[in-house]
Amino acid sequence: MKIFVINTGSSSIKYKLFDMANDRAIASGLAEKIGEADGMLTHEVTEDKGRPWKKSTERDIPDHRQGLNLIVDSLVHPEYGVIGDKSEIWAVGHRVVHGGEAFKASIIIDERVIAAIRENIPLAPLHNPANLTGIEVAQAIFPDSPQVAVFDTAFHQTIPKKAFLYALPYDLYEKEGVRRYGFHGTSHSYVSEKSAEYLNQPLSKLNLITIHLGNGASMAAIRRGKSTDTTMGLTPLEGLVMGTRSGDVDPALPFFLADHLKMSLGQIDTLLNKESGLKGLCGINDMREVLQKAASGNEAATVAMEVYCYRIRKYIGGFFAVLEYLDGLVFTGGIGENAPEIRRLCCQGLAGLGIELDTERNLNTSKEIREIGSSNSRIRLLVVPTKEELKIAQETKKVVRKSRGN
């Protein structure tokens, strides 16, 4: 059984093909700079006669349809392809950023689903239109394969009203859907399930705080397996400090910038989403470079790192209060999995909450699930590599099988 997972951006298509017999990715890649003269297609085969194979080709990719056709050509290529024909694709899973309140779970895509995703465009104007494009193109190329939408927001639909409402006129929620939605739900769901497996406990009995740290970053408070609060809000801008996003700021800041600096709404949006976060604080949005500069004594990088980790510690304390007790604290994402110094700073000073890091364990560079807490830590501290594309493939398999009654 082969499931094709697509994550479509405004000028890109990221993809992975899974053999669900063993939940293994057999090919992956990226078509980028779609619509530009210097388009690029990178295709990688996980194993080619025992060895991985990768090739990048610069070429014109005029639109998403052409991009997806080129990807399919790579998948069936006689030299480095991994399937004989596109008919081997059993189903296609799509990452969709915003499902609003319409979707509490993954779903087979039909006209009603497409209409609902379109209705949520005002909530995710940069993401949902691209996701729709990917769906429409994939439907044309794989007309006989069921298509499934897996929503970033779905996992957080269990958050109670007291946590998702903003203190704004209630009409804005009822009529316009203004509320906290949360994102990275696929990752938070996956790592919570894997944490439960590692701890040999039913997820329905565990309270966890999951911390997804990548260029985008968010946290979730998970009570007995269900999301009960999260750091991102109406959009992915709220919450933690990120690579280029500010996270939490005074809501009156845009008025100050408009009145005092005469900035337009577009300029403010660009400032908060693309020029802030780590980049705004020290000029660099890649945490690896921030850590290197901080280690060499760069003051701006050191401050950026401290601000980043301080915000996370605040949310750990807040989510601890929300959950009342905690079984595990889980780090994931590119930074969460690979930056021991960030994990150390995030856990610093939390012994009173039962969170104590083991310095030697924390330096372990294994790519597997691993424990980083000391023997004195009352709360289990884990690093769990996230596999969002695999989770999308698993959801796709489950939804299609359910629809067919098997």
Is there a domain that residue 172 lies in? Answer: no
Tell me, yes or no, whether 140 and 239 share the same domain. no
Is there a domain that residue 261 lies in? Answer: yes
Is there a domain that residue 78 lies in? Answer: yes
Residues carrying an active site annotation: 152
- Other beta carbons within 10 Å of 34: 25
Q: How many domains does the chain have?
A: 2
Per DSSP, helices labelled H in 264-385 are 265-274, 277-282, 287-295, 299-323, 333-338, 340-347, 359-362
Q: What are phi and psi of 58, to 5 degrees?
A: -85, 125
8-state DSSP, 183:
S
The pLDDT tens digits along the chain (406 residues) read 999 999 998 889 999 999 999 999 999 999 999 988 889 999 999 865 556 788 898 989 999 999 999 999 999 988 888 999 999 999 999 999 999 998 999 999 999 999 999 998 888 887 888 899 999 999 999 999 999 999 999 999 999 999 999 999 999 999 999 999 999 999 999 999 999 999 999 999 999 999 999 999 999 999 999 999 999 999 999 999 999 999 999 999 999 999 999 999 999 999 999 999 999 999 999 999 999 999 999 999 999 999 999 999 999 999 999 999 999 999 999 999 999 999 999 999 999 999 999 999 999 999 999 999 999 999 999 999 999 999 999 999 999 999 988 7
Residues 348 and 285: beta-carbon distance below 8 Å: no
Residue 189, classified by CB atoms within 10 Å of its CB into exposed (0-12), middle (13-18) or buried (19+), is buried
Is there a domain that residue 163 lies in? Answer: no
Tell me, yes or no, whether 140 and 77 share the same domain. yes
Q: At what angle do helices 340-347 and 299-323 cross, to 10 degrees?
A: 50
Tell me, yes or no, whether 47 and 107 share the same domain. yes
- Other beta carbons within 10 Å of 257: 17
Tell me, yes or no, whether 302 and 383 share the same domain. yes
Q: What is the CATH number of the domain that holds 325?
A: 3.30.420.40
pTM, whole model, 2 decimals? Answer: 0.93
Cα separation, 18 vs 395, in Å, equals 12
Is there a domain that residue 224 lies in? Answer: yes
Tell me, yes or no, whether 214 and 361 share the same domain. yes
Tell me, yes or no, whether 224 and 88 share the same domain. no
Tell me, yes or no, whether 213 and 133 share the same domain. no
- What is the maximum alpha-carbon separation in the chain? 63
State which residues form the domain around 119.
2-151
Q: Which residues touch 107 (CB under 8 Å, ≥6 apart)?
A: 113, 148, 149, 399
Tell me, yes or no, whether 95 and 210 share the same domain. no
Tell me, yes or no, whether 11 and 122 share the same domain. yes
Tell me, yes or no, whether 137 and 263 share the same domain. no
Is there a domain that residue 166 lies in? Answer: no
Tell me, yes or no, whether 107 and 226 share the same domain. no
Is there a domain that residue 338 lies in? Answer: yes
Cα separation, 209 vs 381, in Å, equals 10
Tell me, yes or no, whether 350 and 207 share the same domain. yes
Sheet holding 370-371, edge to edge: 226-230, 217-223, 207-213, 328-332, 380-383, 370-371
Is there a domain that residue 173 lies in? Answer: no
- For 370-393, the DSSP string reads EE-B-TT-SSEEEE----HHHHHH
Cα separation, 236 vs 252, in Å, equals 18
